[in-house]
Amino acid sequence: MLKIEHLTKKYGDKTAVSDLSLHIQKGEIYGFIGHNGAGKTTTLKSVAGIMKFDSGEILIDGTSIVSDPIACKKKMAYIPDNPDLYDFMTGIKYLNFIADIYGVGAEERRSLIREYADAFELTGDLAQPIASYSHGMKQKLAVISAWIHSPKLIIMDEPFVGLDPKASHRLKEMMRRVCDEGGAIFFSTHVLEVAEKLCDKIAIIKQGSLIRSGTMDEVRGDDSLEEVFLELEAE
């Protein structure tokens, strides 16, 4: 579903991501962990096609994000770490805007908006301006907008920040359902317990380089993910 091959991204002299390669198969929830400034967001932005990179290749379902970004973006959705949405729109207007862009039909979007807005208990606030939303409400809206066009690949940067426990639970269920239906999820998180319970595979990045990746059992062995992570960070 997602192939990252030898990805390198530099900011001036500083190398943010160095020769990173990852393969994410259909049906996988892939967690991406690392300390602040390790290169997670840069990698995710590069995959989402909103940041140009210096070398390497990113393929979404076999299509290059560089040569055909539109085709790639049609298949995926991206949620950034800070959901800066259009404050001047209402929640429903924003969802309709996204649905229009992805060409979601009127009836289909209606039923999807109802389903997801009810699931996140946001239905009553959809007519309110986004400017009046709390951080958590914006995050919920960003999640709904990502799911509204039924993407095959979902890229998320710290998706659980700001969500209440019920909404977090719903999101985890939705993530699993996407993968059960043949999609894939690639997301970053600092909450290692979540990563440990939710992810099929995990990658740990340090100073722009991948230091370990694989299935949860391969990465942690007999230890907890927290122990492994702290150990690798200390090296």
**33 vs 72 by CB, closer to other proteins:** 72
Residue 81 contacts by C-beta under 8 Å, 6 or more apart in sequence?
41, 157, 158, 161, 188
**155 vs 171 by CB, closer to other proteins:** 155
- Least distance (Å) between residue 199 CB and other proteins: 23
Q: What Rg do the C-alpha atoms of the chain give, in angstroms?
A: 18
Residue ranges in contact with other proteins by CB under 8 A: 45, 48-50, 52, 69-74, 77-78, 80, 84-86, 88-90, 92-93, 96-107, 109-110, 113-114, 123-128, 132
4 beta partners: 22, 58
Residue 44 contacts by C-beta under 8 Å, 6 or more apart in sequence?
32, 78, 155, 156, 157, 186, 188
- Least distance (Å) between residue 182 CB and other proteins: 20
- Least distance (Å) between residue 42 CB and other proteins: 13
**126 vs 211 by CB, closer to other proteins:** 126
Find out whether 159 and 81 touch, Cβ atoms under 8 Å: no
The 10 Å Cβ neighbour count of residue 82 is 12
3-state class (DSSP) for residue 19? strand
Find out whether 210 and 202 touch, Cβ atoms under 8 Å: no
**102 vs 232 by CB, closer to other proteins:** 102
- Least distance (Å) between residue 11 CB and other proteins: 14
**115 vs 218 by CB, closer to other proteins:** 115
Q: Report which DSSP code applies to 235.
A: -
- Least distance (Å) between residue 78 CB and other proteins: 4
